[in-house]
Amino acid sequence: MEINQAFTVLQKSGGIRAARIIIENTKKLSRIRVWFMAYQLRRGIPVAKIIHKKWFYGLPFYTNRHTLDPRPDTETLVASVISDITPDFQPHILDLGTGTGCIICSLVKNIPGATGTAIDKSRSALRVARRNIKELGLTGDIRTVHTSFDNPHNFRERFDIIVSNPPYISFGDTRVNNAARHDPWMALYADDKGLSAYKSIAKNAHLWLKDSGKLYLEIGIDQGPDVKSIFIQHGWNLERTENDLTNIERVLIFSKAHP
């Protein structure tokens, strides 16, 4: 199919922007493939899921149905960590629930000498993360581990920095947009009104973080008070908060409380 014909078909199904992105990122525009992508657009499937690619913090990431698509909100988390890095500090970073690996890869790419460990309880998500780690040339810098953050004895080492964008949407939350309906539910939803993952991290992360380390968490809209309370109750100090580009409180930074 000619490019202009493909563009017309895709535009009618998903709009100009979607059509342009798909055309720019698709090598073979066979008639069958174009019509199938148009069908996907009409079903509300995100463009990133159709082309299996999403840019995050200036880097391209492979994504599929087994992973949460990287979102601009999460760039606030990455920027918060990078802003705290002092010259010559080469942190060892733990990423809890890595998904595509976009957070840990972006940090290691932008912090000279940084290394990382990325965990996820989904084997399918870890395969995606490993692919991105390899394609970004970070195989020697980031290792992956199949586990969850419910196990306090996951690691025999401690980290300088822990980062996480855990599942934080409450089951039944009507604010979830159509695009998110095509992401894996366990990367989005959590029990206890969306707070169960934070409770696990608050309870166990003491064992994984160095005494001088920091913990960086992404949170959902209006979750700040509840998440702060959970961590303070488990002996953490709130260092500061960061807002995203829409001025919504998006990142909480904690340190270990010392007696």
Look up the pTM and report it: 0.90
Domain assignment present for residue 199? The answer is yes
Domain assignment present for residue 48? The answer is no
230 shares a domain with 200: yes
180 shares a domain with 121: yes
**Residue 165's domain is classified under what CATH number?**
3.40.50.150
- From first to last of its 259 residues, the chain has per-residue pLDDT tens of 788 888 888 888 899 999 999 998 888 888 899 999 899 899 888 899 999 999 999 999 999 989 989 989 999 999 999 999 999 999 999 999 999 999 999 999 999 999 999 999 999 999 999 999 999 999 999 999 999 888 877 888 899 999 999 988 777 665 666 666 777 767 776 777 878 999 999 999 999 999 999 999 999 988 999 999 999 999 999 999 999 999 999 999 999 987 5
Short-list 27, 22, 57, 63, CA closest to 39: 22
pLDDT for position 172 = 67
Domain assignment present for residue 68? The answer is yes
Tokens coding 242: 């960061």
177 shares a domain with 70: yes
E strand residue ranges, the chain: 54-56, 59-61, 92-96, 115-120, 142-146, 159-164, 169-170, 189-190, 209-218, 236-243, 249-256
60 shares a domain with 15: no
Owning domain of residue 224 = 55-256
Q: C-alpha angle 227/229/231, rounded to 5°?
A: 70
184 shares a domain with 61: yes
- Is residue 244 within 8 A of residue 226, CB to CB? The reply is no
Instruction: Specify the number of domains making up the chain.
Output: 2
